[in-house]
């Protein structure tokens, strides 16, 4: 007995077209990708927030110990009297006398130091701090005021003093020894040395308030001049120890038991040696290399020539995680495209909700990555998160990919995607080259496997 098939009405044909059209299926997958971009951006915000939190905790730990240190000096300061004529019109002319300072930098400046790093902990965060023992040897040439247009009678030798700039006075852990000539001088702290060291804050002009120590010299005449100064200092700081090349010739030698130092600033060491046991580095800077004068009066900015060593604990798991998250959209698109090709070539129906669950698992992967990386480091966390996510998606795919071969193929593709991204992240210098070649091969593979698809043929 034959049954006559009833013709489909307009609504039924529309519903069938919606469910079976390749174009509609492809469009719906694209729409799901766009929807998944929203939580993907939230994940990136989370990573940046965790990075900012780590930086703030490290800064807080460092501030309680002592902040980064920048040292400059010693600088010889000799006051002198000068006069200024003030015309009061009918009331005549007034001669106003006031005092100015002349600043002299040393001819030779030799600094040796030993840095003893220490790691402070707070929760899951670590901060690198240090204690240092420094020896500063400076040699000054006796100032000649005649070429400067200053009469010898106006030079106030009795008020001469030396200053040594220290960025954070809290780092001084013992009374500094300040010897000028063969005499040990008393020192006192000062929150305003009258000379700027480092770059001023935005909007500042002239010299900024610079902290340091002051040694009164007690000279009575120029005959008391002593041109040799030796400073011995025990100084604490965090992360960075840097110097200003104040000498006409400046040499610095630093050593310390830190296996991964970063030599920071304008000048790199002339020679360095870094081993698993520590580092040693030597700098030599001439006055030709720096952007400030050897002597001056008034305001001067000793900036633009700082150099030194940075003792940072690598926390690049945040930067690597953020870079990895930028490939999240690519992984989602490639995964969905792979499922779509399986769907249209093997006549398998995959529901949009199943696409969504897979996409969500690909996004949750990044929360696993950032949380594990804070505990065990980026490399181990990457493979923990990757293998867990691949295992979850592979297990779930058995519910709609009935063939074990298809499940194995899909699992292999996911492993290839994550391995490819891991290689790109590690090979930072060649990431663009490797990424371009990889994407070219991926597009070529998609072209190859989709060459037999009849795009205008409905799914049977």
Which range has the worst mean pLDDT, 226-240, 246-260, 335-349? 335-349
Q: Give the pair of three-digit tokens for residue 453.
A: 């698809």
- DSSP state for residue 172 in the 8-state scheme: B
The confidence score (pLDDT) of residue 87 equals 64
Closest CA to 279 of 116, 154, 58, 74: 116
Buried b (16+ CB within 10 A) or exposed e, 66-93: bbbbbbbbbbbbbbbeeeeeeeeeeeee
In the predicted model, is pLDDT for residue 458 greater than 60? no
State the residue for tokens 């040694």: 215
CA angle 134, 139, 141 (to 5 degrees): 155
The confidence score (pLDDT) of residue 314 equals 62
Burial class (CB in 10 A: 0-12, 13-18, 19+), 36: buried
What's the mean pLDDT in 29-42? 69
Using one digit for the tens of pLDDT, what is the confidence trace for 370-393?
A: 788 777 777 888 888 888 988 988
The confidence score (pLDDT) of residue 460 equals 41
**Highest mean pLDDT: which of 104-113, 412-421, 429-438?**
104-113
Using one digit for the tens of pLDDT, what is the confidence trace for 86-104?
A: 666 666 666 677 788 889 9
Instruction: Kindly calculate the radius of gyration of the chain based on its CA atoms and give it in whole angstroms.
Output: 35
What's the mean pLDDT in 337-366? 78
Verify cis geometry, omega within 30 degrees of 0, for the bond prior to 74. yes
> pTM for the complete prediction?
0.68
In the predicted model, is pLDDT for residue 355 greater than 60? yes
The residue with greater pLDDT, 329 or 2, is 329
Using one digit for the tens of pLDDT, what is the confidence trace for 189-230?
A: 888 777 777 655 444 444 456 788 899 988 888 888 888 999
- C-alpha to C-alpha distance for 211 and 32, rounded to whole angstroms: 59
Residue 179 in contact with residue 205, Cβ under 8 Å?
no
Using one digit for the tens of pLDDT, what is the confidence trace for 390-430?
A: 898 888 888 878 778 888 888 888 888 888 878 877 776 67
Give the Å distances, CA to CA, from 233 to 173, 281, 377. Answer: 8, 19, 37
Residue 382 in contact with residue 422, Cβ under 8 Å?
yes
**Highest mean pLDDT: which of 121-125, 173-177, 415-419, 430-434?**
173-177
The confidence score (pLDDT) of residue 201 equals 47
Which range has the worst mean pLDDT, 30-34, 131-135, 213-217? 30-34
The residue with greater pLDDT, 256 or 84, is 256
- DSSP state for residue 155 in the 8-state scheme: B
Angle between helices 317-325 and 404-426 (to 10 degrees): 130
State the residue for tokens 């592979």: 394
The confidence score (pLDDT) of residue 284 equals 93
pLDDT band at 323 (very low <50, low <70, confident <90, very high): confident
In the predicted model, is pLDDT for residue 108 greater than 90? yes
Using one digit for the tens of pLDDT, what is the confidence trace for 244-295?
A: 999 999 999 999 998 888 888 888 899 988 888 889 999 999 988 888 888 8
In the predicted model, is pLDDT for residue 165 greater than 60? yes
- DSSP state for residue 4 in the 8-state scheme: P
Domain boundary assignment for the chain? 24-53+317-449, 67-310
Give domain 67-310's CATH number out of 2.40.50, 2.60.40, 3.55.50, 1.10.1740.
Answer: 2.60.40
What's the mean pLDDT in 125-129? 78
Residue 46 in contact with residue 345, Cβ under 8 Å?
no
In the predicted model, is pLDDT for residue 366 greater than 90? no
The confidence score (pLDDT) of residue 203 equals 43
In the predicted model, is pLDDT for residue 432 greater than 80? no
Q: Give the pair of three-digit tokens for residue 393.
A: 């998606």
The confidence score (pLDDT) of residue 452 equals 65
- C-alpha to C-alpha distance for 163 and 62, rounded to whole angstroms: 26
Residue 176 in contact with residue 231, Cβ under 8 Å?
yes
The confidence score (pLDDT) of residue 255 equals 92
| Helix or strand run (H / E) with residue 46 | helix 22-65
> Helix count (H) and strand count (E) of the chain?
8, 19
**Highest mean pLDDT: which of 15-24, 222-231, 318-327, 395-404?**
222-231
Closest CA to 214 of 162, 150, 174, 250: 162
- C-alpha to C-alpha distance for 34 and 264, rounded to whole angstroms: 43
The confidence score (pLDDT) of residue 139 equals 92
The confidence score (pLDDT) of residue 281 equals 93
- C-alpha to C-alpha distance for 237 and 167, rounded to whole angstroms: 10
Average predicted confidence (pLDDT) for the chain: 79
The confidence score (pLDDT) of residue 206 equals 44
In the predicted model, is pLDDT for residue 110 greater than 90? yes
């Amino acid at each position: 007995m034959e049954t006559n098939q009833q013709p489909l009405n307009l609504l039924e044909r529309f519903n069938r077209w919606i469910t079976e059209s390749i174009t509609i299926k492809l469009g719906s997958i694209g729409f799901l990708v766009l929807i998944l971009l929203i939580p993907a951006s939230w994940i990136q915000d989370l990573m940046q927030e965790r990075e900012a939190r780590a930086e703030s905790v490290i800064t807080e730990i460092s501030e309680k110990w002592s902040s980064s240190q920048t040292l400059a000096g010693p600088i010889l300061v000799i006051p002198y009297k000068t006069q200024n004529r003030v015309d009061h019109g009918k009331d005549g002319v007034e001669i106003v006398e006031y005092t100015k300072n002349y600043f002299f930098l040393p001819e030779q400046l030799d600094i040796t130091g030993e840095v003893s790093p220490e790691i402070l902990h707070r929760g899951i965060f670590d901060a690198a701090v240090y204690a240092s023992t420094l020896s500063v040897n400076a040699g000054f040439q006796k100032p000649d005021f005649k070429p400067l247009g200053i009469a010898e009678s106006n030079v106030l030798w009795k008020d001469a003093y030396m200053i040594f700039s220290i960025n954070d006075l809290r780092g001084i852990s013992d009374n500094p020894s300040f010897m000028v000539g063969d005499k040990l001088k008393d020192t006192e702290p000062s929150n305003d040395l009258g000379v700027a060291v480092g770059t001023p804050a935005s909007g500042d002009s002239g010299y900024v308030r610079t902290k340091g120590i002051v040694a009164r010299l007690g000279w009575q005449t120029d005959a008391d001049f002593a041109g040799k100064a030796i400073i011995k200092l025990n100084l604490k700081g965090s992360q960075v120890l840097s110097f200003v090349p104040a000498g006409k010739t400046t040499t610095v030698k630093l050593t310390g038991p830190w296996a991964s130092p970063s030599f920071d600033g304008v000048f790199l060491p002339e020679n360095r040696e870094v081993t698993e046991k520590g580092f040693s580095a030597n700098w030599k800077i001439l006055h030709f290399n720096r952007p400030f004068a050897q002597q001056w009066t008034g305001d001067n900015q000793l900036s633009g020539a700082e150099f030194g060593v940075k003792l940072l604990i690598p926390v690049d798991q945040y930067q690597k995680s953020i870079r990895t998250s930028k490939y999240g959209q690519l992984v989602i698109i490639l995964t969905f495209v792979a499922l779509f090709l399986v769907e249209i070539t093997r006549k398998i129906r995959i529901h949009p909700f199943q696409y969504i669950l897979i996409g969500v698992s690909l996004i949750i992967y990044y929360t696993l990555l950032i949380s594990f990386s804070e505990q065990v480091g980026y490399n181990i966390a990457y493979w923990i998160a990757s293998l867990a996510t691949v295992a979850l998606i592979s297990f779930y795919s058995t519910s709609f990919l009935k063939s074990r071969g298809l499940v194995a193929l899909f699992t292999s593709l996911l492993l290839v995607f994550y391995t490819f991204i891991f290689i790109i992240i590690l090979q930072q210098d060649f990431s663009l080259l490797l990424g371009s070649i990889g994407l070219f091969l991926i597009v070529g593979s998609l072209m190859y496997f989709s060459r037999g698809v009849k795009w205008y043929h409905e799914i049977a």
